[in-house]
Amino acid sequence: MDSEIARILFYMAVHYGDSFEIDLELNNQVNNRTNPYRKLEVLPEWNEQAPVDTFERNRNAAIYNKYQHNRNPFIDHQEWASSI
């Protein structure tokens, strides 16, 4: 589950970035009022803990086909998370 959360957060930060009402920049500070989310340093570890599975691939495809018409590239290419 943590690995799925990490890939979702990577996607949100890269896809929406500064264009969202809340700045979704990932960082290593917690509860700093501007980015009170997960610490960036743990997300690559979470991503590596579990490979993308069939459920996650199917959910990514369903979101693409039925709703948003865009994909989470960190599900399609799990290795890209190491570039962040």
32 CB burial (10 A radius; 0-12, 13-18, 19+): exposed
pLDDT at position 8: 85
Per-residue pLDDT of the chain (84 residues; tens, 9 = 90+): 688 888 888 888 887 766 656 666 676 666 655 544 556 777 888 888 889 999 999 999 999 999 999 999 999 999 998 887
Q: pTM score, two decimals?
A: 0.72
Written as six digits, the tokens of 8 are: 């979702």
User: Within 10 Å of residue 6's Cβ, how many Cβ atoms?
Assistant: 25
Spatial CA neighbour of 6 closest among 38, 53, 54, 30: 38
**Maximum alpha-carbon separation in the chain:** 37
